[in-house]
Amino acid sequence: MLISLPFLRAGTQEDDPTQPVTTLGERAGKGAFPVSREFSWHGGIHLDAPGSGDNVEPVRAIADGQVVFARNSDEIPQHSDDPTVIAAHPLLYYAGWTSNGVVILKHTTEIGDRVNVEFYSIYQHMHKVNVSRGQKVYRKDRIGSPGAIYGQPNRIHFEIVADAANVAALMGRSSGPLTAPQGRTNSLWGDTHIVLPAGTPLYATDPSAITAGHPAWQVPVQATTTAPAIVTISEAAGLITLTTRSTRGTVLGTATPEDGYGLYQRALQRYPGCPSAGYEMLRFGRVIGPDAPAAGDLHQGRLPHIRQIRSPVDHTAVYADLNGPGVRVYSDADFPDWLGWTYIDDDTDGNSRCDSDVLIDMLDPSAPPAAGQPAPASGAVAQTPARQQAQKRRERIARAYARSLDGPMRERLSYCVVKMPTDWSRDDFDTRWGWVKGTDPNDLPANVLLTTCMSDEAYTKFKQHHSALAFWEDAQAQGLALDKLHYHFHPGRFIQTFRKCMWLSEAELSRVYPDNQYNHRETPDPSGLRERYRKQLNQVTRKYFINTATRLTHFLGQGAVESFSLARMVEASTTHFHASIQPETDGYYNDLHDTYFNYLENRLGNVDTGDGIKYRGRGMKQLTGLANYASYWVYRGWLDKSTYDPSWWLKTHGHIRKPNIADPQRVSTDPYNCIDTGGWYWTAGATRLQNKTINSVISEGELSHQAVFDVSAAINGINSHTHEPNGLGDRENQTLRISKIIVDKP
């Protein structure tokens, strides 16, 4: 899923994922999520469009989807300030004109391996609508212009909603807090969250550093955790941060940031038997790929994961094994409750009044006032117990509502996933809003904040106004397959969270590498080709921190050139073209009459005749030369580094022990290996560049000519004749083309 906000601010870099969602244009009070001014349910947020005058930002599709319903707004009547006109027009209500243009988009996408989801985005109070029912739209497409809300121009009401089954697919559970014994592996993205059990040993120094050859750690235990604690591992701009939290989400401290660009070298040092498995342990807190940990890397049957953290006991810097017995591991894809994710589904009365005790307790956790009632003032009529309880309830709701306006609490509320009825249906209006009528405020339900009841006349005008805005029955008649009672996400939080996902769906990858990029004689089925590698492509980009829009754009842009958009996972010969690109399922290509690959002889660790063709380019980034093959084989645990001489190609006499790799075609015949070699090269870096990870030369948001030049040079070096990387023009064109799909710029 690729997703972005409905308003894109031209010329800015991507939104900071740590930015509070309540600063993204959302308005507090009337129009906030999930409750509004009368403590009634409000299933979306009101957003101000950036810009002014003739330069107001258009409303854009947040993700690829299909238009389910579209309606242009009524036109503002002439003389709209005339009291007679105001009284006669239901959209001239309260403080001014409210637009009733609407667009509903259905989004069918993926957030992981075979994790298919469907949700809807709703754009209400549009002025002009540019799309029509049934139309296919792509992320960032203009779908219309913002309208007015009660006289305030350039605003929209925005919702993201789904049914119960799809909420369960999105969040990995259907109710309550996170209780799964381990996190999902088929949908895994964002930060890693490691739950340490009570009794976890804490050390003053790294116990693995002086434990070689011993069956137990030789470093004394400094302390043990007295309660479960959570360590969150996050990465941004090359820094890895480990934050310790309580199980309630309270931050207890943050360790000194680690060098994220050095993670690969750390895996080589700590897990020499199978660095690939060790890298995944450092990256994800668990091994999720095809490579099993080497027996020699284990300690007491487990793969150690020693990191420095802040102690949950006294907040000092300590070391802990984050893969010890009883440890549980999750990611942001599991929507952990310690981050705030909360199901609100206990209000079942069907009206629009918030009667959720879960939400009220969140806002006002104080205990209810003690039983009993004060003596009435002189001459006052004593309240009945029922009236007294109603008054206490009303006071608590008032406190809860006041707290809902606070910045920190608004952030907390944005993690709520609320089951509530839509506010946009006509035929059940009285059921949802009849509670606001009456003549005596004391007769209102206890949690109503209105100081006066609505008269019949006021209620009728309110109903007429709502009817002019409503659309649910109309949309259902045109194919909307969503019940009136459904789940609502805070749209800003939903988008901010799923921006971390970046799992490319079949449709999204088909836009990255479209059919017109292929030679159809060589690749008659582009769709089948893309599907052969799509799962692995998504897995590998997660593994190697190719997890921002800019990093992913560069990776895919370079891959379009290196692998012909996944079509060629072997280097092709110019003299024996057809034979050289055939699948190597029966052994590696070794035509002795094909002299094209002679240019690789005595280069890149190749020392024997025939090494050039044997270790030709393979995989998404064209792994080339015995030196690179050997490094990758060691990384995957397929080759013991002690079995060959370092820098064997420099030896001029005596017995030369070079790496023995009998099956180089292992790279080209397995889809995971094809893509993983590209990810490995991306993070291991070229020897000529001191093995600097390619992520380290990327600045987020930077896709200029110089940026593509730097990435291309890091991958392929500089041609001594042209003084630029080979194929730079193609690399730049592909990167810029793909950026229009991946990044958020309009």
pLDDT exceeds cutoff 60 at 592: yes
**Is the bond preceding residue 368 a cis peptide, omega within 30 degrees?**
no
Kindly indicate the confidence band of residue 378, based on its pLDDT and cuts at 50, 70 and 90: very low
Question: In whole numbers, what is the pLDDT of the chain averaged over residues?
Answer: 92
Q: Which residues does 17 contact at the CB level (< 8 Å), separation at least 6?
A: 236, 496, 499, 500
Q: What is the dihedral of CA 176, 348, 397, 450, to 10 degrees?
A: 150
C-alpha distances out from residue 294 to 262, 326, 390, 643, 662, Å = 21, 21, 66, 16, 21
pLDDT exceeds cutoff 90 at 302: yes
Ranges of each domain in the chain: 24-174+341-365+384-498, 192-337, 514-742
Residue 70 has φ and ψ, to the nearest 5°, of: -145, 135
Decide: 282 and 326 in contact? Cβ < 8 Å: no
| Alpha-carbon gap, residue 121 to 44, rounded angstroms | 10
pLDDT per residue as tens digits for the range 660-681? 999 999 999 999 999 999 999 9
Identify the pLDDT of residue 656.
84
| Alpha-carbon gap, residue 689 to 707, rounded angstroms | 16
Decide: 228 and 195 in contact? Cβ < 8 Å: yes
Identify the pLDDT of residue 196.
99
The token pair at 683 is 């993070």
| Mean pLDDT of the 2-7 span | 97
| Mean pLDDT of the 685-703 span | 89
Identify the pLDDT of residue 555.
98
pLDDT per residue as tens digits for the range 281-294? 999 999 999 999 99
Identify the pLDDT of residue 452.
67
Decide: 344 and 418 in contact? Cβ < 8 Å: yes
| Mean pLDDT of the 440-463 span | 74
- Per-residue DSSP letters for 463-483? HHHHHHH--HHHHHHTT----
Identify the pLDDT of residue 615.
98
Structure-model confidence comparison of residues 372 and 46, the more confident one: 46
Report the run of H or E that residue 318 belongs to, with start and end.
strand 317-321
Kindly indicate the confidence band of residue 21, based on its pLDDT and cuts at 50, 70 and 90: low
Identify the pLDDT of residue 13.
42
| Mean pLDDT of the 437-447 span | 62
Identify the pLDDT of residue 209.
83
Percentage of the chain lying above the pLDDT 90 cut: 81
pLDDT exceeds cutoff 80 at 125: yes
Identify the pLDDT of residue 173.
97
Identify the pLDDT of residue 390.
76
- Per-residue DSSP letters for 673-722? HHHHHHHHHHHH--GGGTT--GGGG--TT--SHHHHHHHHHHHH---TTT
Burial of 379 (0-12, 13-18, 19+ CB in 10 A): exposed
Identify the pLDDT of residue 15.
47
Phi-psi region of 25 (alpha: psi -120 to 50; beta: other; left: phi over 0): left
The angle at the Cα of 65, spanning 64 to 70, to the nearest 5 degrees, equals 130
Kindly indicate the confidence band of residue 86, based on its pLDDT and cuts at 50, 70 and 90: confident
Is 514-742 a domain of CATH 1.10.530.10? yes
| Mean pLDDT of the 388-400 span | 84
Percentage of the chain lying above the pLDDT 70 cut: 92
pLDDT exceeds cutoff 90 at 12: no
pLDDT per residue as tens digits for the range 129-149? 999 999 999 999 999 999 999
pLDDT exceeds cutoff 50 at 266: yes
| Alpha-carbon gap, residue 472 to 503, rounded angstroms | 31
Kindly indicate the confidence band of residue 27, based on its pLDDT and cuts at 50, 70 and 90: low
Identify the pLDDT of residue 262.
95
Decide: 147 and 156 in contact? Cβ < 8 Å: yes
pLDDT per residue as tens digits for the range 233-265? 999 999 999 999 999 999 999 999 999 999 999
pLDDT per residue as tens digits for the range 105-119? 999 999 999 999 999
Kindly indicate the confidence band of residue 20, based on its pLDDT and cuts at 50, 70 and 90: low
The token pair at 718 is 């500089």
Rounded CA Rg of the chain: 30
C-alpha distances out from residue 727 to 557, 560, 619, 678, 708, Å = 12, 11, 18, 18, 11
Of the candidates 105, 108, 90, 95, the one whose C-alpha atom is nearest the C-alpha of residue 158 is 105
Kindly indicate the confidence band of residue 376, based on its pLDDT and cuts at 50, 70 and 90: very low
Decide: 500 and 190 in contact? Cβ < 8 Å: yes
DSSP strand pairing (317-321 vs 306-310)? antiparallel
| Sign of the alpha-carbon torsion through 680, 686, 687, 692 | negative
The token pair at 438 is 């009456």
Structure-model confidence comparison of residues 397 and 21, the more confident one: 397
| Mean pLDDT of the 192-206 span | 97
Identify the pLDDT of residue 686.
81
pLDDT exceeds cutoff 60 at 508: yes
Identify the pLDDT of residue 653.
74
Identify the pLDDT of residue 371.
46
Instruction: Give CATH superfamily name and number for 24-174+341-365+384-498.
Output: Glucose Permease (Domain IIA) (2.70.70.10)
Structure-model confidence comparison of residues 300 and 31, the more confident one: 300
Identify the pLDDT of residue 115.
98
Question: pTM value?
Answer: 0.94
